[in-house]
Chains A and B, each alone.
Chain A
Amino acid sequence: MKKKAKPAAVSGCCIYRQVIKDYFLGFLRDINPERLGLLIAWVSIGVMFFWKFRTETFQNWLIGIPIPFAVLSGALHNVSLPFMMYLVPFSKEQREAYIQKLLYVKVAVPMLFAGLCDIAAAVFGVVSVYGLVLQLVTVFCVAYICGMLWDNMAHSTKGRKVYGNLKGFVQIPLMLCTVDGSAMFAACLYPVSEAVFWVMFLIEMVIMLPIIRGVRKKWKIIRHNFADYEMLSSM
């Protein structure tokens, strides 16, 4: 007798609930030296920035803060899934879809956070619309790139294989993306004028767009590889 089983409890919006839970749990999962190092680096940079911009107004800070959060959102989450996700009744295609949904959440949460910060900033005082646009574009680009590329395994041989056998494919875009994000963070701490906005926006597009294009091309392979336990465990 043939049975067609669908895990009813994890379809539709329930799967998104699971993905969102997974996202928030991901902040605490697998604390390792790489993650700790990253957090320390970000806190140190943050302290330096804070000292330099300590006289800035609270609303400008509210506009700047979502950018490092977008980096952390990508960096503190894996593209690979927790072990049990490979064991439960989920096909490879379903796991791929799960990874895709997790990417959406990795982008959506920082965007939502940025939106809330922007509303709060507007409540506290006058904000520059240019600053908000710059912030939202940066948050999207950074969260998207980091969300696709940043996995704990990214710096290992295994990670390089998963990311399409390209040495440096992961590190260089991530470095550029982080540097660009930091620059935009600094820019957003000032009230942004029109001239500054266009210069920064141009820099942003020149750096981020080619990276996004390149990573998007590889994303299908990356997602496919991370959905396959055999691929992950054999390397």
Chain B
Amino acid sequence: MLKLEQVQKRRNTFLLDNISIELPEGYIMGLIGENGAGKTTLLQILAGLLSADKGEIRLNGISLAEEEVAVKQEIGTVLHGDMFELRDTLLRNGNRYGRFYRHYEESSLKECMAEFGLDGRRKYGRLSKGEKLKFAMAFALSHKPKLLLLDEPAANFDKEFRTLFVKVLRDYVADGENTVILSTHLTSDIDMLADYLLFIKGGRQLLYGDIESVRERYRMAAGEEYKLKLLKDRIIHMENGEFGSRALVHNTGKSFDSTLKVWEPSIEELMYFMEKCPGI
């Protein structure tokens, strides 16, 4: 289980504040939020690149701050940018850094690369952005981590690979021992993959929980503006359109006016209305 307790991090003027989650093994968590919300900062903290100013991070009971090396052994990370040696081949890069991991196997890397259509003899610097992410993913999987951190990888994958990507992640968590944190701004990824959701806005945690329970907490309501306004403080954000109004509201269990159309919000709707609400 991955446990974050009131994790706080200040970087210049940005503050990532009070992030607390408990993510059981065997699940994929979608980390969503607009650009600059703090998704990458949180992933960098989890990857051990940055240290939290306050709070605690534990992976399977082991504290990242106290046992950095032991926890990092269990973490695979896929970040943007040039992670590996540009002038070295993929296989040499893999072996070079793989030796730091106890469970790294060259054969496993070769298998992953073959599955992802990568030639181990190619130089890392000659790969496209998407291929670099594929290699980072292959390397991360090759050392068999318990926690896989992915920073918006899917946006750079072609359609064909996206299908494979979904399958690979599903297989990876299937044994119930591994966990994935997938940072993304594509709600389609969340719909396809995520079991849990962490929504960050301006460095603050807005929502956390399994997707069903998160969606259950809210409702979308559409209808005439004055009828929606009667919902008063249940309204999170309301938008008026040409053919009526739509609002994201808290689901308190109370019934809605029968003339209103009410439905469970999609992740996209949740994100959109939450982002629009200035008070949150």
**Separation in Å of the B140 CB from the closest CB of chain A?**
10
Given A7-B101, A10-B100, A28-B87, residue A89 in contact with residue B72 (CB < 8 A): yes
Question: Within 8 Å of chain A (Cβ to Cβ): is B12?
Answer: yes
Decide: A7 near B69, CB < 8 A? Known: A2-B61, A234-B12: yes
- A63-88, CB under 8 A of B: which get 1 and which 0? 00000000000000000001110111
A6, A9, A89, A230: residue with the most chain B Cβ atoms closer than 10 Å: A89
Residue of B nearest to A228 (CB): B51
A92 to B73, CA, bound (A): 15
The yes or no answer to B5 lying at the interface (CB within 8 A) is: no
A76 to B: closest C-beta gap in Å:
13
Question: Is B192 among interface residues, defined by CB-CB distance under 8 A?
Answer: no
* Residues on B with beta carbons closer than 8 Å to the beta carbon of A87: 47-49, 72, 77, 83
Tell me if B164 counts as interface (CB < 8 A to partner A): no
Q: A83-B82, A83-B83, A89-B73 are in contact. Are A7 and B102 (CB under 8 A)?
A: yes
Q: Are B97 and A2 neighbours in the complex by a CB distance under 8 Å?
A: no
Within 8 A of B (CB), among A188-235: 229-230, 233-234
Contact with A along B78-98 (1 / 0, CB 8 A): 000111111110000000110
A230 to B87, CA, bound (A): 25
Known interface pairs A7-B101, A10-B99. Does A2 touch B87 (Cβ–Cβ under 8 Å)? no
What per-residue 1/0 map shows which CB atoms of B51-91 lie under 8 Å from chain A?
10000000011100001111011000100011111111000
Q: How far is the CA of A30 from the CA of B102 in the complex (A)?
A: 29
A91 to B64, CA, bound (A): 11
Alpha-carbon distance between A205 and B32 when the two chains are bound, in angstroms: 60
User: Is B69's CB under 8 angstroms from A21's CB?
Assistant: no
Q: Which B residues are in CB contact (< 8 Å) with A94?
A: 69
Interface: A18 (CB within 8 A): yes
Docked-complex contact B82 and A234, CB < 8 angstroms: no
- CB neighbours (8 Å) of B88 from chain A are 25
Report how far A7 CA is from B49 CA in the complex, Å.
Answer: 18
Once the chains are docked, how many angstroms separate the CA of A28 from the CA of B47? Answer: 28
A1 within 8 A of B: yes
State which of A25, A28, A82, A91 has its C-beta within 8 Å of the C-beta of B69.
A91
Query: Measured between C-beta atoms, what is the minimum distance from B149 to chain A in Å?
Result: 10
Give A8 to B101 CA distance when docked, in angstroms: 8
Bound-complex Cα distance A86 to B88 (A):
18
Selected from A6, A82, A92, the residue in CB contact (under 8 A) with B85 is: A82
Chain A residues positioned under 8 Å from B12 (CB to CB): 234
Closest to A89 in B: B72
Residues of B within 8 A of A4 (CB): 67, 70
State whether B87 touches A90 (Cβ < 8 A).
no
Q: Is B168 an interface residue (CB 8 A)?
A: no
Does A5 touch B at the CB level, under 8 Å?
A: yes
25 cross-chain CB contacts under 8 A: A1-B60, A2-B62, A2-B70, A4-B70, A5-B69, A5-B73, A5-B102, A7-B73, A7-B99, A9-B99, A10-B100, A14-B99, A18-B96, A25-B88, A29-B87, A82-B85, A83-B82, A87-B77, A87-B83, A89-B68, A89-B101, A90-B100, A91-B69, A229-B50, A230-B50
Q: Which 4 A-B pairs have the closest CB atoms?
A: A88-B100, A89-B72, A5-B70, A9-B99
- 12 additional A-B residue pairs with CB within 8 Å, beyond A4-B70, A90-B69, A91-B68: A1-B61, A2-B70, A5-B70, A7-B100, A25-B88, A29-B87, A84-B97, A87-B49, A88-B97, A89-B69, A89-B70, A230-B51
